[in-house]
Protein backbone atom coordinates (compact mmCIF):
# COMPACT_ATOMS: atom_id res chain seq x y z
CA UNK A 1 0.00 0.00 0.00
CA UNK A 2 1.11 3.56 -0.68
CA UNK A 3 0.16 6.75 1.13
CA UNK A 4 1.16 9.82 -0.91
CA UNK A 5 1.56 13.12 0.93
CA UNK A 6 2.19 16.24 -1.12
CA UNK A 7 2.19 19.92 -0.30
CA UNK A 8 4.20 23.15 -0.10
CA UNK A 9 7.25 23.87 2.08
CA UNK A 10 6.54 24.03 5.79
CA UNK A 11 3.15 22.31 5.60
CA UNK A 12 4.56 19.71 7.99
CA UNK A 13 4.90 16.96 5.40
CA UNK A 14 8.10 15.42 6.70
CA UNK A 15 7.11 15.43 10.39
CA UNK A 16 3.66 14.11 9.57
CA UNK A 17 4.75 11.56 6.96
CA UNK A 18 7.44 10.15 9.24
CA UNK A 19 4.96 9.79 12.12
CA UNK A 20 2.28 8.22 9.90
CA UNK A 21 4.86 5.72 8.61
CA UNK A 22 5.87 4.84 12.17
CA UNK A 23 2.25 4.39 13.24
CA UNK A 24 1.32 2.19 10.27
CA UNK A 25 4.68 0.33 10.21
CA UNK A 26 5.27 1.52 6.64
CA UNK A 27 8.58 2.75 5.20
CA UNK A 28 9.05 6.50 4.84
CA UNK A 29 10.27 8.11 1.61
CA UNK A 30 11.25 11.80 1.54
CA UNK A 31 11.46 12.49 -2.19
CA UNK A 32 12.64 16.06 -1.53
CA UNK A 33 15.88 14.68 -0.09
CA UNK A 34 16.67 13.33 -3.56
CA UNK A 35 16.22 16.77 -5.16
CA UNK A 36 18.34 18.24 -2.38
CA UNK A 37 21.12 15.73 -3.12
CA UNK A 38 21.12 16.65 -6.80
CA UNK A 39 21.22 20.31 -5.71
CA UNK A 40 24.43 19.66 -3.75
CA UNK A 41 26.00 17.98 -6.76
CA UNK A 42 24.94 20.84 -9.00
CA UNK A 43 26.37 23.46 -6.60
CA UNK A 44 29.66 21.54 -6.51
CA UNK A 45 29.75 20.92 -10.27
CA UNK A 46 28.04 23.91 -11.91
CA UNK A 47 29.38 23.04 -15.36
CA UNK A 48 27.70 19.62 -15.40
CA UNK A 49 24.20 19.05 -16.71
CA UNK A 50 21.90 18.57 -13.65
CA UNK A 51 20.01 15.72 -15.34
CA UNK A 52 23.27 13.81 -15.91
CA UNK A 53 24.21 14.36 -12.25
CA UNK A 54 20.76 13.08 -11.20
CA UNK A 55 21.06 9.95 -13.32
CA UNK A 56 24.52 9.11 -11.99
CA UNK A 57 23.85 9.94 -8.32
CA UNK A 58 23.78 7.11 -5.82
CA UNK A 59 21.30 8.27 -3.20
CA UNK A 60 20.54 6.22 -0.09
CA UNK A 61 17.72 7.41 2.16
CA UNK A 62 17.34 6.21 5.72
CA UNK A 63 18.11 7.57 9.17
CA UNK A 64 20.98 9.35 7.40
CA UNK A 65 21.08 10.53 3.79
CA UNK A 66 24.05 9.19 1.84
CA UNK A 67 25.10 10.70 -1.46
CA UNK A 68 27.64 8.59 -3.32
CA UNK A 69 28.54 7.10 0.05
CA UNK A 70 28.97 10.47 1.80
CA UNK A 71 26.74 11.52 4.72
CA UNK A 72 24.96 14.73 3.63
CA UNK A 73 22.08 14.65 6.16
CA UNK A 74 22.82 18.14 7.50
CA UNK A 75 24.27 19.66 4.34
CA UNK A 76 21.07 19.13 2.32
CA UNK A 77 19.06 21.21 4.83
CA UNK A 78 20.84 24.57 4.46
CA UNK A 79 18.88 27.46 2.89
CA UNK A 80 21.36 27.38 -0.01
CA UNK A 81 20.56 23.71 -0.70
CA UNK A 82 16.81 24.39 -0.43
CA UNK A 83 17.07 27.16 -2.99
CA UNK A 84 19.17 25.06 -5.36
CA UNK A 85 16.80 22.10 -4.91
CA UNK A 86 13.81 24.04 -6.17
CA UNK A 87 15.95 25.19 -9.12
CA UNK A 88 17.13 21.71 -10.19
CA UNK A 89 13.61 20.38 -9.55
CA UNK A 90 12.33 22.50 -12.43
CA UNK A 91 14.56 20.53 -14.84
CA UNK A 92 12.49 17.81 -16.61
CA UNK A 93 15.56 15.55 -17.00
CA UNK A 94 16.26 15.72 -13.27
CA UNK A 95 12.63 14.91 -12.50
CA UNK A 96 12.58 11.98 -14.90
CA UNK A 97 15.69 10.45 -13.32
CA UNK A 98 14.49 10.91 -9.74
CA UNK A 99 10.91 9.77 -10.41
CA UNK A 100 12.36 6.55 -11.86
CA UNK A 101 14.41 6.02 -8.67
CA UNK A 102 11.33 6.70 -6.52
CA UNK A 103 9.10 4.30 -8.48
CA UNK A 104 11.70 1.59 -8.17
CA UNK A 105 11.78 2.01 -4.39
CA UNK A 106 8.02 2.06 -3.80
CA UNK A 107 7.36 -0.89 -6.12
CA UNK A 108 7.73 -3.29 -3.20
CA UNK A 109 6.25 -3.06 0.31
CA UNK A 110 4.19 -0.46 2.15
CA UNK A 111 5.22 3.18 1.92
CA UNK A 112 4.43 6.68 3.03
CA UNK A 113 5.99 8.86 0.33
CA UNK A 114 6.15 12.61 0.68
CA UNK A 115 6.93 15.41 -1.80
CA UNK A 116 5.34 17.65 -4.41
CA UNK A 117 4.30 15.23 -7.16
CA UNK A 118 3.84 11.83 -5.54
CA UNK A 119 0.06 11.75 -6.06
CA UNK A 120 0.13 13.51 -9.43
CA UNK A 121 3.14 11.93 -11.18
CA UNK A 122 5.11 9.33 -9.22
CA UNK A 123 2.16 7.23 -8.09
CA UNK A 124 -1.23 8.51 -9.32
CA UNK A 125 -2.76 5.16 -8.33
CA UNK A 126 -1.74 5.47 -4.66
CA UNK A 127 -4.43 4.06 -2.36
CA UNK A 128 -4.46 7.29 -0.36
CA UNK A 129 -3.42 10.74 -1.56
CA UNK A 130 -3.22 13.65 0.84
CA UNK A 131 -2.53 17.29 0.00
CA UNK A 132 -1.19 18.91 3.14
CA UNK A 133 -1.23 22.67 3.40
CA UNK A 134 -1.40 25.58 5.86
CA UNK A 135 -1.39 29.33 5.45
CA UNK A 136 1.99 30.87 4.42
CA UNK A 137 2.58 32.68 7.73
CA UNK A 138 2.07 29.53 9.76
CA UNK A 139 4.27 27.49 7.42
CA UNK A 140 7.07 30.09 7.68
CA UNK A 141 6.72 30.19 11.46
CA UNK A 142 7.09 26.40 11.71
CA UNK A 143 10.10 26.36 9.42
CA UNK A 144 11.73 29.30 11.26
CA UNK A 145 11.47 27.41 14.56
CA UNK A 146 12.97 24.33 12.92
CA UNK A 147 15.90 26.29 11.43
CA UNK A 148 16.34 28.74 14.31
CA UNK A 149 15.93 31.50 11.72
CA UNK A 150 13.98 34.70 11.43
CA UNK A 151 10.38 34.16 10.39
CA UNK A 152 10.19 37.12 7.96
CA UNK A 153 13.28 35.91 6.05
CA UNK A 154 11.90 32.38 5.90
CA UNK A 155 8.55 33.74 4.65
CA UNK A 156 10.28 35.59 1.79
CA UNK A 157 12.38 32.57 0.77
CA UNK A 158 9.35 30.31 1.04
CA UNK A 159 7.26 32.59 -1.20
CA UNK A 160 9.95 32.38 -3.89
CA UNK A 161 10.11 28.59 -3.65
CA UNK A 162 6.28 28.23 -3.61
CA UNK A 163 6.05 30.42 -6.68
CA UNK A 164 8.67 28.37 -8.53
CA UNK A 165 7.18 25.01 -7.44
CA UNK A 166 3.61 25.90 -8.41
CA UNK A 167 4.29 27.65 -11.71
CA UNK A 168 6.95 25.39 -13.29
CA UNK A 169 5.65 23.77 -16.46
CA UNK A 170 6.84 20.27 -15.54
CA UNK A 171 4.94 18.62 -12.62
CA UNK A 172 3.88 21.81 -10.85
CA UNK A 173 2.83 21.48 -7.22
CA UNK A 174 -0.93 20.88 -7.12
CA UNK A 175 -3.41 18.63 -5.38
CA UNK A 176 -3.83 15.32 -7.23
CA UNK A 177 -7.27 14.32 -8.46
CA UNK A 178 -8.92 12.43 -5.62
CA UNK A 179 -6.55 13.81 -2.98
CA UNK A 180 -7.85 14.60 0.48
CA UNK A 181 -6.94 18.25 1.08
CA UNK A 182 -5.93 18.85 4.70
CA UNK A 183 -5.41 22.44 5.83
CA UNK A 184 -3.34 22.05 8.99
CA UNK A 185 -3.44 25.72 10.05
CA UNK A 186 -4.09 25.62 13.78
CA UNK A 187 -3.98 21.83 13.88
CA UNK A 188 -1.50 19.91 16.04
CA UNK A 189 0.80 17.27 14.56
CA UNK A 190 -0.87 14.50 16.58
CA UNK A 191 -4.25 15.40 15.18
CA UNK A 192 -3.02 15.45 11.57
CA UNK A 193 -1.21 12.13 11.98
CA UNK A 194 -4.26 10.47 13.54
CA UNK A 195 -6.48 11.70 10.70
CA UNK A 196 -4.19 10.40 7.94
CA UNK A 197 -3.55 7.07 9.69
CA UNK A 198 -7.30 6.58 10.08
CA UNK A 199 -7.91 7.40 6.40
CA UNK A 200 -5.17 4.91 5.46
CA UNK A 201 -6.71 2.17 7.60
CA UNK A 202 -10.10 2.78 5.94
CA UNK A 203 -8.54 2.56 2.47
CA UNK A 204 -6.65 -0.60 3.35
CA UNK A 205 -10.08 -2.05 4.03
Please give the residue ranges that form the binding site for ligand CDP (CB under 6 A): 9, 13-14, 31-32, 35-36, 82, 85-86, 89, 115-117, 161, 165
Q: Which is nearer to ligand CDP, 166 or 191 (CB)?
A: 166
Return the beta strands (E) in 26-125 as ranges. Answer: 27-30, 59-61, 65-67, 70-71, 111-115
Q: Which is nearer to ligand CDP, 181 or 204 (CB)?
A: 181
Closer to ligand CDP by Cβ: residue 156 or 204: 156
Query: CA–CA separation, 120 vs 175, rounded Å?
Result: 7
CB of residue 205 to ligand CDP, shortest distance in Å: 27
- Give whichever of 36 and 129 is closer to ligand CDP, judged by the CB atom: 36
**Residue 200 beta carbon to ligand CDP: minimum distance, rounded to whole angstroms:** 19
The residue sitting closest to ligand CDP, measured at its beta carbon, is 32
- Are 173 and 165 spatial neighbours (Cβ–Cβ below 8 Å)? yes
Per the CB < 8 A criterion, the answer to whether 1 and 112 are in contact is no
Residue 109 C-beta: closest distance to ligand CDP, Å: 19
End-to-end C-alpha distance for the chain, whole angstroms? 11
CB of 86 to ligand CDP, least distance (A): 3
To the nearest 10 degrees (0 to 180), the angle between helices 189-204 and 13-24 is 50
Amino acid sequence: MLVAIDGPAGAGKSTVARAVARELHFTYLASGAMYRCVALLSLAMPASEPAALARAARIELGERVLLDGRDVTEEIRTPEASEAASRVAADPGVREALVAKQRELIAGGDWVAEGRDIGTVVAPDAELKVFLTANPEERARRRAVELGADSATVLAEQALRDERDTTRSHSPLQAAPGAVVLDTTGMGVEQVVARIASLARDRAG
